[in-house]
């Protein structure tokens, strides 16, 4: 467990988050329950924004809202003065619904629909990141029809393979995202988009993957991207913006690095210093730098609380501990064997002398949340917490097996409140004919 002031074991030996005892949260809101630590989110936003300003100057942190998107998160990041990275019309609509400044949004996606592009242009989104030739054609036509010129970036692939799960490596040569620099395709698409009368190509974007701890991959991406900027400058094309994406790793389980909020500043500091050095050495203008952390802002801020149900001991093999949630509120183990820390929320100080596999309630053999969890002896009706569930849990949740998606509660300074209300069975059938 990566403890901090707002996530710790209290004097009663219970898990506490945001100054609230998790036992009190269970009594008030029930389970399953997503809980988000607002102060942690705010601290991460501030650390990233301040470090970029102090170490680099001209740039913007854009929260990668695919990690966790709802009205309240856009209000929080707006209050903290940072922008947002969106990947769908739904995320754009949610941001717009609370008055988020749309000029501070980058719209991504390898297959944006016509309606999404129209909505983005109509709402004056700051940057649209192009990922195909035909998307450039479509967007150019939309902008012509609306009489505007849209700032765009092109997603390119620098060929940097970060050390992470292969499902979340996105800058390999073989990727559905971006145009390869090494193959020459990136140069071709740059020239193609430059000819579009209604598109203002101001720079390039890359993203090398997710859940990356070591910094050398990011520094190599800086080197590759500035080499390409230098090449383009030599053929008469200069850019004002460089978006280097995100992907900073967080603590999920044993083996991951434990970082404090303050230590995440080193990611920004190292990238900023490497970029300043590279542009000076290569004779480039200093670009406006955009970085897009998402998981590292909300991931460790979130936990999920469950009630323990049936416990099945298969002698000599394993003990299954079933919870009242599962892959409908956390599909990440089923998708790519993501690891988590699970704790006995009501009894944090007890001796951990039993190994459990945490199983969900869905009708799927693969509905597992975590394996080989060292916990105290647990009984039905007690509660467990799965840590670091703030990113890609609510966002990827579903009504599989017609289960209800859990609500989300935000905690800060000993107080709690809903930011996403509980679903009801009526919600479940609302659109059925």
CA–centroid distance for 410 within its chain: 17
On the question of a cis peptide bond just before residue 343, with omega within 30 degrees of 0, the verdict is no
**Which entry of 62, 118, 206, 363 is annotated as an active-site residue?**
363
Is 362 in the active site? no
Question: The tokens of 89 are what?
Answer: 């019309």
CA triple 354-393-258, angle to 5 deg: 60
Cα(109)–Cα(88) distance, rounded to whole angstroms? 7
Instruction: Report the sign of the C-alpha dihedral through residues 87, 92, 93, 99, in that order.
Output: positive
Question: The tokens of 227 are what?
Answer: 């080499």
Backbone angles phi, psi at 383, to 5 degrees: -125, 140
Give the ranges where 100-177 is alpha helix by DSSP (H): 114-122, 133-146
In sequence order, what are the beta bridge partners of 21?
Answer: 16
First to last CA, the chain: 46
Indicate the DSSP class of residue 221.
Answer: H
Cα(416)–Cα(410) distance, rounded to whole angstroms? 6
Question: The tokens of 117 are what?
Answer: 């592009």
In sequence order, what are the beta bridge partners of 201?
Answer: 152
Question: The tokens of 289 are what?
Answer: 């730098």
- The helix (H) or strand (E) run that includes residue 242 is strand 241-243
Neighbours of 144 (CB within 10 A): 14
CA–centroid distance for 160 within its chain: 20
Evaluate whether 236 touches 199 at the Cβ level (below 8 Å).
Answer: no
- The helix (H) or strand (E) run that includes residue 187 is helix 185-194
Burial class of residue 319 in the structure, from the number of CB atoms within 10 Å of its CB (0-12 exposed, 13-18 middle, 19+ buried): middle
Give the ranges where 210-331 is alpha helix by DSSP (H): 216-234, 265-282, 295-298
Q: Which residues are catalytic?
A: 363
């Amino acid at each position: 467990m990566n403890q901090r002031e707002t996530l710790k074991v209290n004097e009663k030996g219970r898990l506490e988050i945001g100054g609230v005892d998790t036992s009190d949260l269970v009594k008030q809101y029930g389970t399953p329950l997503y809980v988000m630590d607002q102060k942690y989110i705010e601290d991460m936003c501030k650390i990233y924004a301040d470090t970029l300003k102090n170490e680099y100057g001209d740039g913007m942190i854009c929260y990668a809202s695919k990690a966790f998107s709802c009205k309240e998160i856009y209000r929080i990041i707006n209050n903290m003065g940072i922008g947002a990275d969106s990947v769908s019309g739904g995320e754009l609509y949610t941001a717009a619904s609370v008055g988020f400044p749309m000029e501070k949004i980058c719209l991504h996606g390898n297959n944006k629909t016509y309606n999404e592009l129209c909505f983005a242009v109509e709402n004056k989104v700051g940057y649209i990141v192009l990922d195909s030739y035909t998307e450039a054609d479509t967007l150019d036509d939309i902008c012509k029809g609306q009489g505007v010129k849209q700032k765009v970036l092109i997603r390119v692939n620098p060929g940097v393979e970060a050390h992470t799960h292969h499902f979340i490596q996105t800058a390999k040569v073989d990727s559905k995202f971006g145009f390869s620099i090494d193959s020459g395709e990136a140069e071709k698409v740059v020239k193609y988009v430059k000819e579009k009368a209604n598109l203002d190509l101001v720079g390039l974007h890359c993203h090398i993957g997710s859940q990356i701890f070591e910094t050398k991959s990011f520094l190599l991406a800086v080197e590759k991207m500035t080499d390409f900027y230098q090449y383009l400058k030599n053929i008469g094309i200069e850019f004002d913006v460089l978006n280097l994406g995100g992907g900073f790793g967080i603590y999920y389980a044993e083996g991951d690095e434990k970082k404090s909020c303050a230590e995440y500043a080193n990611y920004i500091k190292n990238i900023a210093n490497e970029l300043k050095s590279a542009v000076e050495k290569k004779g480039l203008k200093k670009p406006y730098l955009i970085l897009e952390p998402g998981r590292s802002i909300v991931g460790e801020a979130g936990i999920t609380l469950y009630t323990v149900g049936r416990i099945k001991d298969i002698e000599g093999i394993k003990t299954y501990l079933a919870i009242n949630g599962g892959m409908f509120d956390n599909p990440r183990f089923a998708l790519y064997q993501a690891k988590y820390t699970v704790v006995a929320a009501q009894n944090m100080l007890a001796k951990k002398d039993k190994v459990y596999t945490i199983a969900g309630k869905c009708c799927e053999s693969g509905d597992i949340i975590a394996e080989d969890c060292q916990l105290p002896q647990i009984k039905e009706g007690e509660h467990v917490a799965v840590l670091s569930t703030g990113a890609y849990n609510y966002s990827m949740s579903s009504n599989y097996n017609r289960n209800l998606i859990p609500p989300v509660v935000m905690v800060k300074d000993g107080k709690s409140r809903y930011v996403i209300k509980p679903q009801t069975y009526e919600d479940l059938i609302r659109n059925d004919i």
